[in-house]
Amino acid sequence: MKVTVVGAGAVGATCADNIARKELAEELVLLDIKEGVSEGKAQDIMQSAALLGFDTRITGSTNDYSKTAGSKVVVITSGLPRKPGMTREELIGVNAGIVKGVAENILKHSPDAIIIVISNPMDTMTYLALQATGLPKNRIIGMGGALDSARFRYQLSQHLGCSPADLNALVIGGHGDTTMIPLIRFATWNSVPVTELLSAEQQARIVADTMVGGATLTKLIGTSAWYAPGAAGAAMVESIIRDEKKLFSCCVSLEGEYGQKDICLGVPVTLGKNGWEKIIDFKLNADEQALFDKSAAAVRAMNDVLKTL
Give the residue numbers annotated as catalytic, written as ranges.
Answer: 175
- The span from the CA of 302 to the CA of 187, in Å, is 29
Secondary element (H or E) of residue 303: helix 286-305
Tell me the Ramachandran region of residue 63: left when phi exceeds 0, alpha when psi lies from -120 to 50, beta otherwise. Answer: left
Question: Alpha helices, DSSP H only, in 83-143?
Answer: 92-109, 122-133
3-state secondary structure of 252: strand
207's CB contacts (< 8 A; 6+ apart) are 182, 184
Rounded Cα distance between 107 and 205, Å, is 43
Q: Is 20 helix (H, G, I), strand (E, B) or coil?
A: helix
Strands, sheet with 188-189, edge to edge from the N-terminal-most edge strand: 167-168, 188-189, 192-193
* Phi and psi at residue 265, to the nearest 5°: -150, 155
Cα–Cα dist 265/141, whole Å: 10
Q: With CA atoms as reference, report the closest residue to 92 among 120, 116, 129, 130.
A: 120
Burial classification of residue 168, based on how many CB atoms lie within 10 Å of its CB (0-12 exposed, 13-18 middle, 19 or more buried): middle
Q: How far apart are CA 205 and CA 208, in angstroms?
A: 5
> Given the DSSP bridges, would you call strands 261-272 and 246-255 parallel, antiparallel or unpaired?
antiparallel
8 Å CB contact between 175 and 88: yes
